Amino acid sequence: MGDKKAPKVWLWPSWVETVGAMAASDAKISVSCDRCNAYRDVDIPALLAKVGPNYSLINRRCRCKLTPGCNGWNRFRYLHGVMRRLWDDNASDRWLALENASRREMTRLIREAGEEREKKRLRERR
């Protein structure tokens, strides 16, 4: 059998594929934070001016810009009857893996800091 590529499956309508397409179709896009739960509509004309028409929000996230001091992640959704996510399962899996690795590293650093404090305390007692 020859190599056959699987047909491309479109998860999103064409009018949300780029910021330019969103602007042309008057798409309603929102952004929300997974930590502080802040939510607001995206100003598409301002975003278009900043990043250009070919930029895509699909499978993108950024650190929270909705609440000062929040270090959560902002993710994007589009309105198509209901708010639908602009990320796929692969992006979710990748983001979860990054979060888990970050937590493991933080736990290791905290444990090492605790061990160093204990060593210092013991040295001071001598």
Summarize pLDDT for 87-98 with one digit per residue, the tens: 888 887 888 787
Q: Rounded CA gap, 1 and 16, in Å? A: 37
Summarize pLDDT for 29-54 with one digit per residue, the tens: 999 999 999 999 999 999 999 999 99
Query: Which pLDDT value is given to residue 7?
Result: 44
Q: Rounded CA gap, 77 and 121, in Å? A: 51
